Amino acid sequence: MLSKHNSNQRDQLEIITLDQLVPANHLVRKMEASIDFTFIYDLVIVMYSEVGRPSINPVILVKLTFIQF
């Protein structure tokens, strides 16, 4: 066997939620608690079509811009 690890360890399943990956004091949690981003849908509704492939959620795009800044 080439590996030092027991083969049973490779078969283990670990379930992790996104909530566990984001620290409690992270900027994303603070933004989510203090800013209501639902107004963005009303601002961009004329720019999105009902036909075609689904688009990226505009609220996510705005949040990404905040995080990059």
> What is the token pair recorded at 9?
């360890």
Mean pLDDT of the 39-60 span? 90
- What type of residue sits at position 41? Y
Domain boundaries, the chain: 23-48+55-69
From residue 41, alpha-carbon distances to 17, 25, 48, 66, 69 in Å are: 27, 27, 10, 17, 22
Mean pLDDT of the 52-58 span? 89
Average pLDDT of the chain is 84
One-character DSSP codes across the chain: ---SS-GGGGG------HHHHS-TT-HHHHHHHH--TTHHHHHHGGG--SSSSPPPPHHHHHHHHHHH-
Residue 54 has pLDDT above 60, yes or no: yes
